[in-house]
Structure 1
Amino acid sequence: MRLTDADRTRVAAAVAEAERDTAGEIVTVVARRSDAYHDVALHWAVLAMLLVLALLALMPGVAVWLHGLVADPWDGAPAPGGLFTVALLLLAATFLIVRVILAYRPLRMALTPGSTAGRRVHARALTLFRASAEARTRDATGVLLYLSLDEHRAEIIADAAIHSRVTPDVWGAAMAALIAATRDGRPGDGMAEAVRQIGLVLAEHFPPRTDDTNELPDRLIEL
């Protein structure tokens, strides 16, 4: 899923159009993803190790059989140290195999819990809001629209003056339009429509001033 030059132009034009009817300022940001989720791969690798250990506890004969593949059969029953060595090698091999498999990003993303992805997207959006929009307008009327493509998740974060008048559920139409279009492979259309919906909310609560100026960039920021 990629943004085209036409998408970038469409979003910038939507921001300019929305801001004509309000003193609010809209910042749009699109990121490929909000996190690499390498820690998720580590968690799955550790879980796989624990499952292997549980299987060895349930079926100790497997460890004995594996020990017999490399030990002298005339030595009799394997010593505990030999069995522990087999278990250690199995655990290490399991960890490495799972970790290598989950180096494939699409699989790692698919195995990332939705709650984890949601928290990471929100944290990234909050960081970007603080850097690009928070308290950067005269009347604290900045809004960040953030889309994380790989997670198919978005965030709308508003500055203090807006947050004091507008409850989070008011952004529902903008979020629904953005997520639906992104899932259809049309992130540019979704961003433009979300900007339009945000503009309607801002125009209702923050009409344009006579001395209004464009305080934040209209262009789409890509990370």
Structure 2
Amino acid sequence: MRLDPDDSAKVATAIRAAEAGTDGEISTIVAPSSDSYTDIVLQWALIAGLFPLAISAAWPNLLLWTLAPLTGWEAPSLRLLLSLLVVKCIILFLIARFVIGLPAVRMALTPGGTKERRVRARALMLFRAGTEQRTLSKTGVLLYLSLAERRAEIVADAAIHAKAPQEVWGEAMTALVEAMRDNRPGDGMAAAVERIGAVLAQHFPYTGTDPNEMPDRLIEL
């Protein structure tokens, strides 16, 4: 899933239209992914690397059968048995590390809860760095989309959160998720921005006294 220049233009247009009716400010960020998930890759690779040990513990004769062509069917030494196990573990670990490191495989093997937590953490970090308390009235909202995880987050300044709890963003999230299912992330973000604007207009209507303090464009990381 990816966004093209037309998608960026759609989102920018939606931001300007939404902010025309509110003193609130909407920031939009899209990222290829929210984490490298290296720890997940290493966890699965370690499990694969330990697989020869589990097999040998369950069926020890299988290891002897593997060594038979090398030992002439004589009983192998303990050193040879252990060395073979170590080599098998290392080879399987390296193979698994490469295969699971492929983006599609890595994301497929990452638990949904892990993706959700890391997308949320990245959204909060970006919000605190670029949106939180960056407006005079403290009415900034961040719409964050992480493409690899196909997940999004909406984070709002304290002034907005006090009047519009997290539940009010349900329609915006639904619009975005439905468009993402059809591989239309740009349309989804534009629709979500429109609904965020409606919530802001209800609680923080346009007064003409609040300057435009955030960029009216889609930020791509």
Q: Which residue of 1 aligns with 2:140?
A: 142
Separation in structure 2 between the aligned mates of residue 169 and residue 191 of structure 1, nearest angstrom: 18
Deviations 1:168-188 (CA, angstroms, capped at 9, x unpaired): 111111011101101211111
Q: TM-score, normalised by structure 1?
A: 0.95
Separation in structure 1 between the aligned mates of residue 193 and residue 177 of structure 2, nearest angstrom: 13
Query: What is the DSSP-based 3-state SS (H/G/I as helix, E as strand, rest coil) of the residue aligned with 1:211?
Result: coil
Please, which of 204, 207, 219 is the counterpart of residue 206 of structure 1?
A: 204
Letter paired with 2:146: S
Separation in structure 2 between the aligned mates of residue 138 and residue 209 of structure 1, nearest angstrom: 13
Q: Which residue of 2 aligns with 1:66?
A: 66
Q: Which residue of 2 aligns with 1:188?
A: 186
Letter paired with 1:109: M
Q: Which runs of 4+ in 1 moved over 4 A?
A: none
Q: Which residue of 2 aligns with 1:35?
A: 35
Separation in structure 2 between the aligned mates of residue 179 and residue 152 of structure 1, nearest angstrom: 8
Q: CA deviation at 1:4?
A: 2.1
Separation in structure 1 between the aligned mates of residue 177 and residue 147 of structure 2, nearest angstrom: 10
Query: What is the DSSP-based 3-state SS (H/G/I as helix, E as strand, rest coil) of the residue aligned with 2:163?
Result: coil
2:51–2:89 Cα contact (<8 Å) kept: no
Letter paired with 2:148: D
Higher deviation after alignment, 112-121 or 186-195: 112-121
Q: How does 1:44-63 map to 2 (within 5 A)?
A: 44-63=44-63
Query: What is the DSSP-based 3-state SS (H/G/I as helix, E as strand, rest coil) of the residue aligned with 2:173?
Result: helix
Identity in percent: 52
Q: TM-score, normalised by structure 2?
A: 0.95
Q: Which residue of 2 aligns with 1:7?
A: 7
Query: What is the DSSP-based 3-state SS (H/G/I as helix, E as strand, rest coil) of the residue aligned with 1:164?
Result: helix
2:48–2:93 Cα contact (<8 Å) kept: yes
Query: What is the DSSP-based 3-state SS (H/G/I as helix, E as strand, rest coil) of the residue aligned with 1:26?
Result: strand
2:145–2:152 Cα contact (<8 Å) kept: yes
Cα root mean square deviation, aligned: 1.3
2:25–2:139 Cα contact (<8 Å) kept: yes
Q: CA deviation at 1:72?
A: 4.6
Q: Which residue of 2 aligns with 1:131?
A: 129
Deviations 1:13-58 (CA, angstroms, capped at 9, x unpaired): 1111111111110000111111122221111111112333211100
Separation in structure 1 between the aligned mates of residue 66 and residue 6 of structure 2, nearest angstrom: 61
1:11–1:191 Cα contact (<8 Å) kept: yes
Letter paired with 1:28: T
Q: Which residue of 2 aligns with 1:25?
A: 25
Higher deviation after alignment, 204-213 or 187-196: 204-213
Separation in structure 2 between the aligned mates of residue 194 and residue 133 of structure 1, nearest angstrom: 18
How many residue pairs match? The answer is 221
Separation in structure 2 between the aligned mates of residue 100 and residue 6 of structure 1, nearest angstrom: 35
Deviations 1:97-156 (CA, angstroms, capped at 9, x unpaired): 111112321111111111111111111111111111001001110000000111110000
Query: What is the DSSP-based 3-state SS (H/G/I as helix, E as strand, rest coil) of the residue aligned with 2:47?
Result: helix
Please, which of 68, 88, 91 is the counterpart of residue 90 of structure 1?
A: 88
